[in-house]
């Protein structure tokens, strides 16, 4: 799965409904019973970017191509997942293959929608899921510690790793996430993480699924969840899965009018996409021509040759230089020709770090 965002949550919190709205298609069956999502549903979702429309006004291309983001809807989790309860083993293996966790948490009352724990309690729901992830990390780290103890008898470097691992396992046992470990920036920790791939080291975003009233004013459930998110340095995004479903199929203007009537500037799902894109360390640069205006997805801080490889590997191999116009300059000048006349086009070499929104052409030789 690679650079993907995994949607997780207890059964019946609105996870699959959110996924349906996110992909603008009913790809995940939403039903009022646990485990309606068994195999992980996968979707490639376009990243909304108003800059492409502005470029298209100038270039008048045949088509517009957006950057994309991979989402995976993972089966609902229950207590005991780390021990194989419910679909636990499947859940944990699927989530291990994603880079960011989007945890959908129910923050509204509705007597018509059952909750597997009997009542609404966002903090308890989060603690169930994160507790299972912590237990899974403790299990794999315990196995690693056993191996390190044997290695440490003859290898001094293994002894340092062992000491770090034993310190970390105590930290996890206290109910903490690995991402909050004091030595998480150390080389030894990174080496351990590369070997073990801690579930609780991943970036976490909370999708607070609320009702329409909750979009405008935080209810008590949202306040508690916000406090938890801040404590763990995690992103929290408010959304109403019901509203997001209603937005499916609406034209952009209708959708914006609908949100404005609710007192909301941007849908929760657009926020999830944009913030998820950033959490994955991704950004876009643009190419603009009569055939298409296109956003190309690259890692932040990519050099020009690496960015060129997003189009074709040969562009990186034969890279000579890049023609670059900043997005703002491109728009203000009214296109490439006028930007050149105004001296806003730059020729950049192999060391150039591409900036978000750069409009680029590459010169290469094979």
What's the pLDDT score for residue 21? Answer: 82
Cα separation, 5 vs 73, whole angstroms: 9
What's the pLDDT score for residue 250? Answer: 78
3-state SS class at 344: coil
Residue 82 reports pLDDT greater than 80? no
Q: How many CB atoms lie within 10 A of CB 213?
A: 12
Task: Report the helix count and the strand count for the chain, using DSSP H and E.
Answer: 15, 12
Residues forming CATH 3.10.20.30 domain(s) in the chain: 301-364
C-beta of residue 101 within 8 angstroms of C-beta of residue 95 = yes
Q: Which homologous superfamily does the CATH classification assign to the domain defined by 4-278?
A: P-loop containing nucleotide triphosphate hydrolases (3.40.50.300)
Cα separation, 351 vs 348, whole angstroms: 8
Query: What is the helix (H) or strand (E) element at residue 299, kind and residue range?
Result: strand 292-299
Cα separation, 272 vs 34, whole angstroms: 24
| Cα dihedral across residues 215, 216, 219, 225: positive or negative | positive
178-191: pLDDT as tens digits: 999 999 999 999 99
Please report, for residues 5, 44, 337, the alpha-carbon distance to residue 71 in angstroms, rounded to integers and kept in the order given. 5, 6, 39
8-43: pLDDT as tens digits: 988 888 888 888 887 774 444 444 444 344 455 788
What's the pLDDT score for residue 226? Answer: 95
Share of the chain above pLDDT 70, in %: 89
Q: For 80-105, b where at least 16 C-beta lie within 10 A, e where not — what string?
A: ebbeeebbbebbbebbbebbbbbbbb
Residue 139 reports pLDDT greater than 50? yes
Question: Which stretch of 4-18, 75-89, 173-187, 220-234 has the lowest confidence by average pLDDT?
Answer: 75-89
Q: Which homologous superfamily does the CATH classification assign to the domain defined by 301-364?
A: Beta-grasp domain (3.10.20.30)
Cα separation, 81 vs 226, whole angstroms: 25
Per-residue pLDDT band at 154 (split at 50, 70, 90): confident
Cα separation, 99 vs 279, whole angstroms: 9
What's the pLDDT score for residue 31? Answer: 46
3-state SS class at 289: coil
Residues 6+ apart with CB under 8 A from 308: 315, 316, 319, 322, 362, 364
238-256: pLDDT as tens digits: 999 888 888 877 777 888 8
Q: How many CB atoms lie within 10 A of CB 75?
A: 25
Cα separation, 280 vs 67, whole angstroms: 13
Residue 334 reports pLDDT greater than 50? yes
Query: What is the helix (H) or strand (E) element at residue 246, kind and residue range?
Result: helix 241-247
Residues forming CATH 3.40.50.300 domain(s) in the chain: 4-278
- For the segment 355-366, the average pLDDT, to the nearest whole number, is 93
Cα separation, 341 vs 276, whole angstroms: 38
- For the segment 97-110, the average pLDDT, to the nearest whole number, is 90
More confident residue, 164 or 16: 164
Q: Judging by DSSP bridges, how do beta strands 235-239 and 203-209 pair with one another?
A: parallel
Residue 99 reports pLDDT greater than 70? yes
- For the segment 180-204, the average pLDDT, to the nearest whole number, is 92
272-300: pLDDT as tens digits: 999 999 999 999 999 999 999 999 999 99
Question: Which stretch of 70-84, 199-213, 283-297, 326-340 has the lowest confidence by average pLDDT?
Answer: 70-84
Tokens 């019946």 map to which residue? 12
Residue 262 reports pLDDT greater than 60? yes
Q: How is residue 198 annotated by DSSP?
A: -
- For the segment 184-203, the average pLDDT, to the nearest whole number, is 92
| Crossing angle of the two packed helices 122-152 and 187-196, in degrees rounded to 10 | 100
C-alpha atoms less than 13 angstroms from C-alpha of 310 in its C-beta half-sphere: 25
Per-residue pLDDT band at 83 (split at 50, 70, 90): low
Structure tokens at 257: 């009018």
What's the pLDDT score for residue 39? Answer: 52
């Amino acid at each position: 799965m690679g650079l993907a965002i995994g949607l997780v949550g207890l059964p019946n919190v609105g996870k699959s409904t959110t996924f349906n709205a996110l992909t603008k298609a009913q790809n995940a069956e939403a039903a009022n019973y646990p485990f309606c999502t068994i195999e992980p549903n996968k979707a490639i979702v376009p990243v909304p970017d108003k800059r492409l429309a502005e470029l298209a006004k100038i270039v008048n291309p045949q088509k517009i191509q957006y950057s994309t983001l991979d989402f995976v809807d993972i089966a609902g989790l229950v207590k005991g997942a780390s021990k194989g309860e419910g679909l636990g083993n499947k859940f944990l293996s699927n989530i291990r293959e994603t880079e960011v966790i989007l945890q959908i948490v129910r923050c509204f009352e509705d007597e018509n929608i059952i909750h597997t724990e009997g009542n609404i309690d966002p903090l308890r729901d989060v603690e169930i899921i994160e507790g299972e992830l912590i237990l899974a990390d403790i299990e794999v780290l315990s196995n690693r510690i056993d191996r390190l103890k044997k290695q440490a008898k003859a290898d001094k470097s293994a002894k340092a790793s062992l000491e770090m691992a034993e310190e970390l396992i105590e930290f996890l046992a206290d109910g903490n996430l690995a991402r909050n470990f004091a030595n998480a920036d150390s080389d030894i920790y990174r080496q351990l993480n590369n070997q073990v791939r801690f579930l609780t080291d991943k970036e976490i975003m909370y999708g607070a699924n609320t009702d329409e009233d909750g979009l405008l004013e935080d209810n008590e459930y949202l306040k508690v969840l916000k406090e938890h998110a801040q404590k763990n340095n995690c992103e929290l995004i408010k959304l109403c899965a019901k509203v997001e479903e209603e937005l499916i199929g609406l034209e952009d203007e209708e959708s914006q009018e609908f949100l404005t009537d609710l007192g909301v500037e941007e849908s929760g799902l657009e926020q999830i996409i944009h913030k998820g894109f950033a959490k994955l360390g991704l950004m876009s640069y643009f190419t603009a021509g009569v055939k298409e205006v296109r956003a190309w997805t690259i890692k932040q801080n990519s050099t020009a040759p690496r960015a060129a490889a997003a189009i074709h590997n040969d562009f990186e191999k034969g890279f000579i230089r890049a023609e670059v116009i900043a997005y703002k300059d491109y728009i203000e000048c009214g296109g490439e020709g006028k930007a050149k006349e105004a001296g806003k086009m730059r020729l950049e070499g192999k060391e150039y770090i591409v900036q978000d929104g750069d409009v680029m052409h590459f010169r290469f030789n094979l």
